[in-house]
């Protein structure tokens, strides 16, 4: 390794008091880029003053082509930026090539969602002799999947927010923004059955909130989370089993069945269309799987 890198490592160890693990990571990143730059040139030694932004960009392209995650490449570039700042402060170089380097965009994780067969299995009818909590819990699962609401929106829902005539619910989303979400005959029927059982149980008057505990009190986030995890564990091996998985499942089902992205944005209450666009990637991934499974020359 060149003397400049050695000096930088000494600086990190004794002046910055970095941990040995962090120093080793810096060394590894700098050794890697140094090796690449030397192999790309005709020289036996590397002059950091002559390194250009285009050289670093080529290294970035090399890393990406060899399967490195964009997050890993960004960390390596961070090591290189720190190194060039060090060289500039000590006037070992007179320009910073990192200003011309384009870092790869952060990769977005695709949302986790249930398959159609899992949803069909999950939404099987509850037996007629089921108790209040079973009927309520099953409705909660259906409600998340059929409306795409957030947990907070479900918890704060009141009877007056449900319009059975128009078949729509009004929810209060982020930043206190209201939106109306339509629902179909199936959900309407299940909600009506739930209200009949709920109001028969609570004979002292209607509760303030739509979804309640047996004593009429509003449900808590932890209770809803426990319910969703229990029901999803019956049909799915997903590690993540949260209410948001059902929200993702709602959006993915809408997109896969031809819904306009702007309509899905409105239903979910997203402020930015960019947030909703993740579901177009999910849809494309599904198409790729179908193609790979079905095409004889895939």
| 138: annotated active-site residue | no
Is 213 noted as a catalytic residue in this protein? no
DSSP annotation string for 32-74: HHHHHHHHTSS-SS--GGG--HHHHHHHHHHHHHTT--HHHHH
Question: Which residue is associated with the tokens 């909590």?
Answer: 133
Report how far residue 176's alpha carbon sits from residue 34's, in angstroms, rounded to the nearest whole number.
53
| Residue 174 annotated to the active site | yes
- Nearby residues of 71 by Cβ (< 8 Å), 6 or more positions away: 106, 107
Q: Among the options 74, 81, 150, 170, which is catalytic? A: 150
Residue 150 annotated to the active site: yes
Cα(25)–Cα(100) distance, rounded to whole angstroms?
23
The active-site residue out of 95, 158, 218, 270 is: 270
E-state strands within the chain: 162-163, 168-172, 178-182
Catalytic (active site) residue 295: no
Q: Which residue has the tokens 């080529």?
A: 58
Annotated catalytic residue, options 26, 86, 145, 279:
279
Q: Which of 74, 213, 229, 244 is catalytic?
A: 244
Q: Which residues pair with 181 in a beta bridge?
A: 169
Report d(CA 218, CA 221) in Å as an integer: 10
Q: What tokens appear for 48 in the block?
A: 């950091």
Pick the catalytic residue from 31, 90, 174, 226. Answer: 174
- 244 catalytic? Reply is yes
Known catalytic residues are: 150, 174, 244, 247, 270, 279
């Amino acid at each position: 390794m060149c003397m400049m890198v050695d000096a930088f490592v000494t600086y990190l160890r004794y002046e910055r008091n970095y941990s040995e693990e962090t120093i080793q990571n810096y060394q590894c990143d700098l050794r890697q880029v140094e090796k690449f730059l030397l192999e790309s040139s005709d020289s036996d030694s590397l002059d950091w003053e002559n390194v250009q932004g285009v050289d670093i960009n080529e290294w970035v392209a090399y890393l990406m082509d060899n399967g490195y995650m964009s997050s890993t490449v960004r960390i390596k570039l961070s090591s290189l930026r720190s190194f060039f700042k060090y060289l500039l402060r000590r006037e070992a170089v007179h320009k910073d090539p990192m200003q011309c380097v384009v870092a790869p965009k952060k990769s977005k994780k695709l949302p986790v969602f249930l398959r159609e067969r899992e949803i069909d299995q999950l939404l099987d009818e509850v037996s007629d002799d089921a108790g209040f909590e079973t009927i309520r819990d099953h409705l909660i699962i259906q409600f998340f999947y059929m409306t795409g609401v957030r947990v907070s929106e479900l918890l704060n829902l009141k009877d007056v927010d449900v319009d059975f005539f128009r078949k729509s619910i009004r929810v209060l989303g982020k930043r206190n923004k209201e939106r109306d979400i339509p629902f179909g005959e199936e959900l309407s029927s299940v909600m009506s059955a739930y209200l009949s059982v709920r109001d028969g149980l609570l004979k002292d008057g209607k509760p303030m909130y739509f979804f309640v505990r047996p004593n009429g009190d509003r449900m808590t986030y932890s209770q809803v989370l426990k319910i969703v995890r229990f029901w999803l564990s019956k049909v799915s091996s997903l590690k993540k089993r949260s209410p948001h998985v059902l929200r993702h499942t709602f959006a993915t089902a809408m997109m896969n069945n031809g819904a306009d992205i702007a309509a899905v944005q409105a239903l979910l209450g997203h402020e930015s269309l960019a947030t909703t666009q993740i579901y177009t990637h999910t849809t494309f991934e599904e198409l790729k799987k179908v193609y790979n499974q079905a095409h004889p020359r895939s």
